[in-house]
Amino acid sequence: MSQTPAPRKLPGNLNTNRRLDRWLKINRDGTVTAFPGKVEIGQGILTALAQIVAEELDVALERIRLAPADTTYSPDEGMTSGSQSITDGGAALRYAAAEARDLLLQRAAARLGVSLEQLSVADGVVKARSGGSVTYWEIATDDLLAREATGDIAPKPASLHTIIGSPAPRRDIPAKVSGAPIYVHDLDLPGMLHGRVARPPSYDARLAGLDEAEVRALPGVVAVVRDGSFLGVIAGREEQAIRALTRLKRIARWEESTVLPETPDPRFLLREVTEDQVISEKQDAAAGARAAKTLDAEYTRPYIAHASIGPSCAVARFDPDRCTVWTHSQGIFPLRRDLAGVLGVEENCITAIHMDGAGCYGHNGADDAALDAVLLARAVPGRPVRVQWTREDEFNWEPYGPAMVVKLKAGLDTQGNVVNWTEDIWSNSHSTRPNGLGGVNLLAAWHLARPHPPSPPRNPPLPGGGSHRNAIPIYEFPNERVTNRLVKRMPVRVSALRALGATANVFAIESFMDELAAAAGADPVEFRLRHLKDARARAVIETVAAKAGWRKGEKGDGARGRGIGFARYKNGACYVAVIVEIEAGNELSVRRAWAAIDAGLVINPDGIINQTEGGIIQTVSWALKEAVRYDRSRILTSNWDDYPILTFEESPQVEVTIVNRPELPPLGAGEGTQGPTAAAIANAIHNALGVRLRDMPFTRDRVLAALA
């Protein structure tokens, strides 16, 4: 028997969502609706996707409508994460729009009785050279795009772009700055009730006793929901739910145990059992034998919170045949799979609808709040229930960015070249989002009387990776061995935080490159260029050095200093080089930062600049201030006093230069600055003060200890 050939691979996420009408609809009213599966979390992605569609269809940007992500009609694009929205989702929309344009032109040619070559199109109006015209809106019918994509129609070359590559105002900003009710937190449905969840006081605590009658008697209380150690309350008004929550917390009795690490120092990871994997190995015995000087160093990053400004929220309604949840999840389809597992129903019985929420760049409490809302709504069928997390909930229960330890050892020859490189990384998993890969990665599911265990800890494969993201240097070293040591026991809840393991790995690699440059008597910029063949990598380093006015061998003055950091994100996405200037007064501060970024074809220059500026500022906060605190039993970080972040007046002045390469594919750009910025700050501190800080955050106490 002959086998049916496998379907042809299509670009980006068009490959797994192959129907054109899953992505686009040409409307009779002169507009186009696009259906992205990627969601807006503050990164400006919907503006860029609208530009792609407008460009390929040859219509004005103002005509493009973007449907909110909804599991009933949106393409399943998994998570909005990993700087993949343009490379995967953008590619899908680009090819879908190019093919839709071709189908429209074929209809126009038939209507006008001319060949395709005679047609031109501007803002949806198709004209024939011999005379006559017709609009997209006149010839579009529902069946036009009711077909599988072929991938045969090539998008426009960059030379013809008029919308892609030009700045476009962010679509999401006006409502946000004007206070319009666009967030899931603002949703107010008819008959809506308000729910709160009384979390255990610590990770392993179990509910031992509760007098529910006392809470049920409070004004406005509709229900008290108890299932194992999951404990919640539903009330008619929000203030009534808050009052009932306060009473629940006071009268509930919990049994606690000591399960957290003995020390906040990430080096506790070195004593854990690990699953080891050599991820890069090169050998050149002759080159290695030339090592005349050997250096080693150890770098750490603590647990870091997402610290969303707005705590998580969700709304759910349980109807006889369907559960609907409104959520700011970054992956409504993976979330739906985990919700279905908890409820014991088919996925198509659940509708998940994305709404805006507080940005977090990673896995915060949004998905957990969705399950909270679903579990409470199940107790009051037909009534929507809004669950709002508290600030304490968000800090205590969100999955943090994992603590990490990176050990490095290298040998230099007599010419100051790196001839040996050994690197070892210790970290937990960086990916415990809802994923449908066995287990349920939602907080409340673990507290039920019949709990659903989480998915086994894992590392996504390279080149994306998790703890080993960006662990393999792109510098040219003749001898190299990089080993990832995955710590599977997770005493502290962790998951994806912007850039995942790349932040700590690049911080370590780029700090160590500066230490090696100093040992070789070389300028840090020259030393990096000496070990790089990649022309695009060299270009961003040379560009940022020129923009910052870098002087070969420049020294700090004891109070001010500058440092550089560089990486290619995931070794396959954007290239970023960062130079920062720090000032050491009563406190450390980053005064200025320069960045050069090469992300291939740029869709929206303003968007790239926003992402780069924001990434630098966020990393300055991580590098100078942020660390989660805990004792053996409890997380001690509960509010902003416990977890200070960078303020507006502490933010540096940032100058971003885009190295645009319109002839090359677009590359993910949202997470490229984190590692380079952290390293640049450490290197600037050494340049200014002559001391090397290898443990984040670089607090005043650590600086004083190093100086002493």
List the CATH number of the domain containing 637. 3.30.365.10
Give the Cα separation of 626 and 628 in Å (integer).
7
Tell whether 529 is covered by a domain: yes
pLDDT at 687: 98
Are 118 and 58 contained in the same domain? yes
Are 560 and 635 contained in the same domain? yes
The residue segments making up the domain with residue 107 are 12-164
Are 535 and 624 contained in the same domain? yes
pLDDT at 436: 67
Per-residue model confidence as pLDDT tens digits over 322-346: 999 999 999 999 999 999 999 999 9
Per-residue model confidence as pLDDT tens digits over 129-141: 999 999 999 999 9
Are 287 and 344 contained in the same domain? no
pLDDT at 5: 73
Tell whether 536 is covered by a domain: yes
Beta pairing, strands 193-197 & 385-388: parallel
The single-letter code of the amino acid at 548 is A
Q: Which two tokens stand for residue 427?
A: 């970290």
- With beta carbons less than 8 A apart as the criterion, state whether 629 and 583 touch: no
Tell whether 543 is covered by a domain: yes
Q: Which residues touch 513 (CB under 8 Å, ≥6 apart)? A: 475, 524, 527, 528, 531
Per-residue model confidence as pLDDT tens digits over 230-253: 999 999 999 999 999 999 999 999
Residue whose C-alpha is closest to residue 335's, from 530, 42, 79: 79
Residue whose C-alpha is closest to residue 671's, from 367, 365, 397, 430: 430
pLDDT at 297: 98
Are 351 and 275 contained in the same domain? no
Are 586 and 657 contained in the same domain? yes
- The H or E element containing residue 567 is strand 560-568
Are 644 and 497 contained in the same domain? yes
Q: Which two tokens stand for residue 203?
A: 């990770």
Burial of 591 (0-12, 13-18, 19+ CB in 10 A): middle
Tell whether 576 is covered by a domain: yes
Q: Which residues touch 74 (CB under 8 Å, ≥6 apart)? A: 22, 35, 36, 37, 67, 332
Are 370 and 353 contained in the same domain? yes
Tell whether 6 is covered by a domain: no
SS3 string, 615-672, reads HHHHHHHHHHCCCCCECCCCECCCCCCCCCCCCHHHCCEEEEEECCCCCCCCCCCCCC
- With beta carbons less than 8 A apart as the criterion, state whether 303 and 400 touch: yes
Tell whether 458 is covered by a domain: no
Give how far Cα 609 sits from Cα of 156, 165, 199, Å.
24, 12, 40
Question: Helix, strand, or coil here: 373?
Answer: helix
pLDDT at 83: 83
| Matching residue, tokens 């050279």 | 129
Are 275 and 374 contained in the same domain? no
Q: Which residues touch 325 (CB under 8 Å, ≥6 apart)? A: 314, 315, 316, 335, 339, 350, 351, 352, 353, 370, 373, 374
pLDDT at 63: 98
Are 580 and 699 contained in the same domain? yes
Question: Helix, strand, or coil here: 51?
Answer: helix
Backbone angles phi, psi at 346, to 5 degrees: -70, 150
pLDDT at 1: 54
**pLDDT beneath 50: ranges in the chain:** none
- The H or E element containing residue 525 is helix 524-530
Tell whether 117 is covered by a domain: yes
Give me the number of domains the chain comprises: 3
Are 25 and 116 contained in the same domain? yes
Question: Helix, strand, or coil here: 143?
Answer: coil
Question: What count of other Cβ atoms lies within 10 Å of the Cβ of residue 287?
Answer: 18
pTM of the model: 0.96
Tell whether 605 is covered by a domain: yes
pLDDT at 82: 80
Q: Which residues touch 607 (CB under 8 Å, ≥6 apart)? A: 43, 44, 45, 47, 48, 168, 170
Angle of helix 91-112 relative to helix 45-57, nearest 10 degrees, comes to 30
Are 679 and 535 contained in the same domain? yes
